[in-house]
Chain A
Amino acid sequence: EIVMTQSPATLSVSPGERATLSCRASQSVSSNLAWYQQKPGQAPRLLIYDASTRAAGIPARFSGSGSGTEFTLTISSLQSEDFAVYYCQQYNNWPPTFGGGTKVEIK
């Protein structure tokens, strides 16, 4: 089973600043990686798939990059509604697996 490791566990950022979240796979997952956002009391929402493709309706301030084992989610200028927990997930190898999450909190 591929282990997905996200860092940092918590990221404190001021509104308007840039946030960079990392996700590392224990072996190559090619570009078969997605990012999800989860706000308290809500279901996760798809942000990015295939490592760098924004899902429908996702603002351009969200971008994804990487391939193989190293991936990054960047939020260019944090808005108040972006404070949430972010999960990466690989779907290249069976079983698909999620990372442990990064909580983005207000600094």
Chain B
Amino acid sequence: EVKLVQSGAEVKKPGESLKISCKGSGYTFPYYWIGWVRQMPGKGLEWMGIIYPDDSDTRYSPSFQGQVTISADKSITTAYLQWSSLKASDTAMYYCAKLGSSSWKEKFDYWGQGTLVTVSS
């Protein structure tokens, strides 16, 4: 059974750093792109970027390039999303999700449960 289990909710102050995680199991983790999707409060889904864990090839949507860093450690089948300096506007639910194959031209077929990030002074 494919599972993506994300780390728990976070409350941070503006300017702080943060790294959230997504652990995959039930499939060959290195060989499927895994991505991140943002959902701001009461809003729709936004595609952020993806990583191919086997070689760490990482691609970002232009809207998120330079704003976040996506990484992965295939030895522990975990992907990460990190911020170096959080802003109040980063407050959102963040989902990790797995692509359906080794191509980026794929749907998200499995999703994590989401990690709520709240940034407030």
Contact = CB atoms under 8 A, between A and B. Distances in A.
B105 A91 contact: yes
B47 A34 contact: no
Interface string B40-75: 000011110000000000011111000000000000
A99 B44 contact: yes
A36 B111 CA distance: 11
A89 B100 CA distance: 14
Contacts of B45: 36, 38, 44, 87, 89, 98, 101
A95 B107 CA distance: 13
B47 A89 contact: yes
Interface of A: 1, 32, 34, 36, 38, 43-46, 49-50, 55, 87, 89, 91-92, 94-101
Contacts of A43: 95, 111-114
A95 B62 contact: yes
Contacts of A92: 105
Contacts of A87: 44-45
23 contacts: A36-B45, A36-B108, A38-B45, A43-B111, A43-B112, A43-B114, A44-B37, A44-B45, A44-B111, A46-B110, A89-B45, A89-B107, A91-B104, A91-B105, A94-B104, A95-B59, A95-B60, A95-B61, A96-B61, A97-B47, A98-B37, A98-B47, A100-B44
A89 to B, nearest CB: 7
Dominant secondary structure of chain A at its interface with chain B:
loop
**What 6 pairs between A and B have smallest CB-CB spacing?**
A34-B107, A95-B61, A49-B107, A43-B111, A98-B45, A101-B44
Contacts of B109: 46, 49, 55
A63 to B, nearest CB: 16
B105 A32 contact: yes
Given A95-B61, A95-B62, A44 B106 contact: no
Given A43-B113, A46-B110, A91-B106, 8 more contacts: A1-B62, A44-B95, A46-B107, A46-B108, A46-B111, A49-B109, A91-B104, A94-B104
